Amino acid sequence: MADEISVLIVDDSALMRNLIGKMVEATPGLVIADKAMNGRFALDKIPRANPDVIVLDLEMPEMNGIEFLRERKKQAIEIPVIILSSIAAKGAAITMEALSLGASDFIQKPSGSISEDIHTVKDNLVGLLLSYGGQYRKTHGKKIISPNEAKAINPAAAESMSKSTISIASILELNVVHTAVPAKPPTPLRKPATTEVVAIGISTGGPDALRVVFSRLDADLKVPIVVVQHMPAGFTNEFAKSLDRICPLDVKEAEEGDPLIPGRILVAQGNKHLEVGRQGATVVAHLSDAPLVSGHRPSADVLFASVALTFQNHALGVIMTGMGRDGAAQLGTIYKEGGLTLGQDEASAVVYGMPRVAFEMGHVQEQVPLEKMARRICDIAKTNR
């Protein structure tokens, strides 16, 4: 069907191309645009195949994934790219280089470059393909298949996928424009005061979105920022370093006991909750191995709850692109304590999941496009109340 999200699969292994292709074919709403054995063949096929999203291996002969991304950038190709590579497990720095060159997201192959158990990442992969491919179609004026149409194409596959970790219907639903009226917002316990901290919760689509926001922050912003970006353990240190290179403020991976310093950004470690708390006259970061919250560790809900408790009406909470509902509930606690809250708007979010739930719960005071988020954060943080 013309409205399905088309996928270009780029991998030097014929077995991997076949296994990934079967995942695509078994997913309502997705269709194979073409397959390529390296980056050079992929570039040749893009004009004819016209895919909505690309799955890219990094280790390939003739033109590898990094070289493909560099050439893609030169040619101003906007089609989103999902890295699916074994090298992601070995080289966080290479993965971050891929993201800095324009890749949208990444998944680790579970057991090396030829992973016959690739089915173990199927839910995650097809979720990203539907999310990024759907966003690309929306921004380019293409129609997107509805959940009901997807089910009609392949009822058996749709039934199977509805029982999996990620419901295909729910992801396709993210590509539908939402018009729900938000619930009544909480009644603040006190009026907003001068902002002393900014807390950001973000997930799918986050690496690109944070690059946009952090590169545009004012160099003289004198407020600490704490961030939960859903990312596997072992990658957040390199991710923070990559953000530090483009941000006028200092960015680092949070460590136990790190003080919240004005003008510094702390990024939560993968697989560690990040909380803030007072230690004498200083507010410091605490890391935790506590159970998953809202399906995640780190969890934006955990961060927002601790920020609300510690800073009350001196906090600014920001919820951005992401699948699911992490952060939506506790953003309301920041609101209730008298803090201010922002949510990324639907048009600019790769996945309008987390910000949508927060908005519908009445926990978002203002919806902001990605392009204006940095300016809005700085304006609020610099306003004396």
What's the mean pLDDT in 65-90? 90
- Asked whether 366 and 342 are in contact (CB, 8 A), the reply is yes
Residue 140 designated active-site: no
Given a cut of 60, whether residue 164 has pLDDT beyond it is: no
For residue 172, what pLDDT is reported? Answer: 53
pLDDT band at residue 151 using 50, 70 and 90 as cut-offs: low
Structural domain contains residue 284: yes
At residue 317, what is the residue type? G
108 plus 235 within the same structural domain: no
352 plus 318 within the same structural domain: yes
For residue 89, what pLDDT is reported? Answer: 52
For residue 88, what pLDDT is reported? Answer: 56
Please tell me which residue in 85, 104, 203, 299 is annotated as part of the active site.
203
CATH number of residue 100's parent domain: 3.40.50.2300
160 plus 306 within the same structural domain: no
Given a cut of 60, whether residue 257 has pLDDT beyond it is: yes
Structural domain contains residue 201: yes
pLDDT digits (tens, 9 = 90+) for 171-230: 555 555 565 788 999 999 999 999 999 999 999 999 999 999 999 999 999 999 999 999
Structural domains counted in the chain: 2
For residue 1, what pLDDT is reported? Answer: 47
For residue 92, what pLDDT is reported? Answer: 85
Angle, CA of 182, 137 and 73, to the nearest 5°: 115
For residue 152, what pLDDT is reported? Answer: 61
**Domain membership of residue 244 as a residue range:** 197-381
148 plus 262 within the same structural domain: no
For residue 51, what pLDDT is reported? Answer: 97
Q: Choose between 121 and 329: higher pLDDT.
A: 329
R_g (Cα) of the chain, nearest Å: 21
207 plus 278 within the same structural domain: yes
Please tell me which residue in 326, 345, 348, 363 is annotated as part of the active site.
326
DSSP readout, 282-311?
EEEEEEE-PPPBTTBSS-HHHHHHHHHHHH
For residue 133, what pLDDT is reported? Answer: 95
Please tell me which residue in 104, 115, 123, 230 is annotated as part of the active site.
230
Q: Which residues contact 51 (CB under 8 A, 6 or more apart)?
A: 6, 7, 8, 33, 34, 79
Residue 12 designated active-site: no
12 plus 84 within the same structural domain: yes
Structural domain contains residue 190: no
Other C-beta atoms within 10 Å of 140: how many? Answer: 10
For residue 120, what pLDDT is reported? Answer: 82
> What does DSSP assign to residue 316?
E
Task: Choose one of 173, 207, 231: the last residue of a domain.
Answer: 173
What's the mean pLDDT in 362-374? 98
Structural domain contains residue 293: yes
Average pLDDT, the chain: 91
* Integer Cα distance of 371 and 385 in angstroms: 26
pLDDT digits (tens, 9 = 90+) for 305-316: 999 999 999 999
Residue 203 designated active-site: yes
For residue 144, what pLDDT is reported? Answer: 77
